[in-house]
């Protein structure tokens, strides 16, 4: 290796060594944990932590996803907690829930959060109870993000996080309520042998928030410390027709009117029905004539005459023994016979040439047909 190459190698190694030393003095190795998000059932069941907490306290709890099959499984003393907005529950199922509560069931529900600019959603349950949800836009910077709750039976105040912008109006004298500075955030009302609890926010029992403040303890008191508890966190998927009637009633009305008018127009008839005409069948000669006209227009007259000639020669071969051994002159003389044709004219007819004029084409075909009939 030359001296220049050695110098370059030493210089590169020195630079790399110096860079490594500088990085070791100025960079620090740290280990951090990145959140990977919820996995498995926790990703689809926001009440999984609440369900496992209740189970560890000895309260039987079950998570369900469909209300259709739930009503047949509810017992008289069971607890049904619905953390969704119940928009697909409907009038019929709401009435069934109220009948179940009247027999001893305990129902816990929340409400849909809407701002003043949004159209309020219809809530059949709140309408029957005479309650309505209100929203305020006051500055909350001076208020704490938690609420101290004094619940009957609890030994001390419980601290929970309930959304402060919503409150419930329409409470009655016998209702158990939890209030903030603007109104009630929880209303429990006795109905027959059971009770209905309406709370403005149930997010504090979802996912990992149940481990904050006194959320787990408040959930235990909310279900009265006994079960079985049924946890419902999702709305049922409405049918296509229900969804269309809810979101596009004008379009559905127009479609139904069009369908009625179409059926009415198709159903009108004056007099007896006309019998269908029998199918028209063409003769084979018409097809042959049409085929010939097409070939003539496409300048294929030679093809038509060649077909007639081949048919004539094949027929002559069957009528005259030794036809194949004859020369063209002998065949022409034999075909001419005692008739009006001579050997020369027959040889001309059998020779393949172009026929440019229609009258010549007709004459050639007629003469070939006359020879064929004389065989």
Confidence (pLDDT) at 288: 62
113 dihedral zone (left: phi>0; alpha: psi -120 to 50; beta) = beta
The β-bridge partners of 196 are 107, 189
Token digits for 315?
Answer: 């027929």
Q: Who has greater pLDDT, 218 or 311?
A: 218
pLDDT of res. 171: 86
Q: Is the pLDDT of residue 168 over 80?
A: yes
- What pLDDT score was predicted for residue 325? 78
Report pLDDT for 338: 63
Q: Is-contact 355 305, C-beta < 8 A?
A: yes
| CA-to-CA separations, 362 to 314, 335, 347, 366, in angstroms, rounded | 21, 20, 18, 6
For residues 294 and 310, what is the distance between their CA atoms, to the nearest angstrom? 21
Q: What are phi and psi of 194, to 5 degrees?
A: -120, -160
- Mean of all residue pLDDT scores within the chain: 79
Angle at 129 between CA 187 and CA 78, to 5 degrees: 65
More confident residue, 220 or 33: 220
Euclidean distance between CA atoms 119 and 58, whole angstroms: 42
Per the CB < 8 A criterion, the answer to whether 228 and 216 are in contact is no
Query: Can you tell me whether residue 87 is helix, strand or coil?
Result: coil
Q: What's the pLDDT at 170?
A: 85
Token pair, residue 342, equals: 């001579």
Which tens digits make up the pLDDT trace of 323-360? Answer: 777 777 777 777 777 666 676 777 777 776 666 676 67
Over residues 275-288, the pLDDT tens digits come to 777 777 767 667 66
Residues 6+ apart with CB under 8 A from 344: 332
pLDDT tens-digit map of 11-24: 888 888 888 888 77
The 3-class SS string of 293-346 reads HHHHHCCCHHHHHHHHHHHHHHHHHHHCCCHHHCCHHHHHHHHHCCCCCCHHHH
Average confidence (pLDDT) over 157-186: 86
Q: What percentage of the chain reaches a pLDDT higher than 70? A: 86
pLDDT, greater one: 164 or 1: 164
What does the pLDDT read at residue 26?
78
H/E segment holding residue 242: helix 240-247
User: What number of residues does the chain have?
Assistant: 375
pLDDT tens-digit profile of 77-131?
888 888 887 777 777 888 888 888 888 888 888 887 765 555 556 788 888 888 8
pLDDT in tens, 24-48: 777 777 888 877 766 767 767 788 8
pLDDT at 49 over 80: yes
pTM summary value: 0.57
pLDDT of residue 184: 87
**CA–CA separation, 325 and 335 (whole Å):** 15
Q: Report the share of the chain in percent with pLDDT over 90.
A: 1
Model pLDDT, residue 352: 63
Strand, helix or coil for residue 253 = helix
Q: How confident is the model at residue 291 (pLDDT cuts 50, 70, 90)?
A: low
Q: Is the pLDDT of residue 62 over 60?
A: yes
């Amino acid at each position: 290796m030359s001296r220049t190459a050695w110098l370059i190698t030493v210089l590169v190694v020195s630079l790399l060594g110096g860079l490594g030393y500088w990085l070791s003095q100025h960079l620090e190795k740290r280990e951090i944990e990145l959140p990977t998000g919820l996995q498995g059932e926790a990703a689809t069941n926001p009440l999984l932590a609440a369900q496992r907490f209740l189970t560890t306290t000895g309260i039987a709890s079950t998570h369900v996803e469909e209300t259709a099959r739930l009503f047949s499984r509810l017992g008289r003393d069971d607890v049904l907690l619905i953390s969704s907005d119940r928009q697909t529950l409907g009038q019929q199922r709401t009435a069934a829930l109220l009948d179940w509560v009247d027999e001893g069931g305990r129902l816990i529900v929340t409400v849909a959060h809407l701002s003043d600019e949004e159209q309020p959603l219809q809530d059949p349950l709140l309408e029957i109870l005479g309650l309505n949800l209100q929203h305020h836009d006051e500055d909350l910077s001076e208020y704490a993000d938690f609420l101290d709750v004094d619940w009957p039976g609890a030994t001390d105040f419980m601290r929970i996080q309930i959304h402060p912008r919503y409150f419930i109006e329409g409470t009655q004298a016998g209702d158990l309520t939890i209030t903030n500075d603007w109104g009630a955030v929880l209303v429990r009302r006795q109905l027959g042998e059971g009770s209905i609890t309406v709370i403005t926010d149930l997010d504090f029992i979802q996912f990992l928030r149940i481990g904050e403040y006194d959320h787990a303890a408040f959930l235990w008191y909310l279900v009265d410390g006994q079960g079985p508890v049924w946890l419902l966190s999702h709305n049922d998927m409405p049918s296509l027709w229900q969804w269309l009637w809810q979101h596009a009633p004008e379009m559905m009305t127009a479609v139904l009117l069009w369908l009625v008018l179409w059926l009415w127009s198709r159903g009108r008839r004056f007099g007896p029905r006309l019998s269908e005409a029998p199918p028209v069948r063409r003769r084979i000669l018409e097809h042959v004539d049409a085929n010939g006209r097409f070939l003539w227009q496409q300048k294929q007259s030679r093809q038509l005459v060649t077909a007639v000639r081949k048919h004539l020669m094949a027929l002559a071969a069957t009528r005259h023994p030794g036809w194949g051994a004859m020369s063209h002159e002998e065949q022409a003389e034999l075909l001419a016979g005692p008739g009006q044709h001579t050997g020369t004219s027959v040889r001309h007819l059998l020779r393949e040439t172009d026929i440019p004029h229609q009258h010549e084409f007709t004459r050639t075909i007629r003469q070939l047909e006359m020879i064929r009939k004389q065989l």
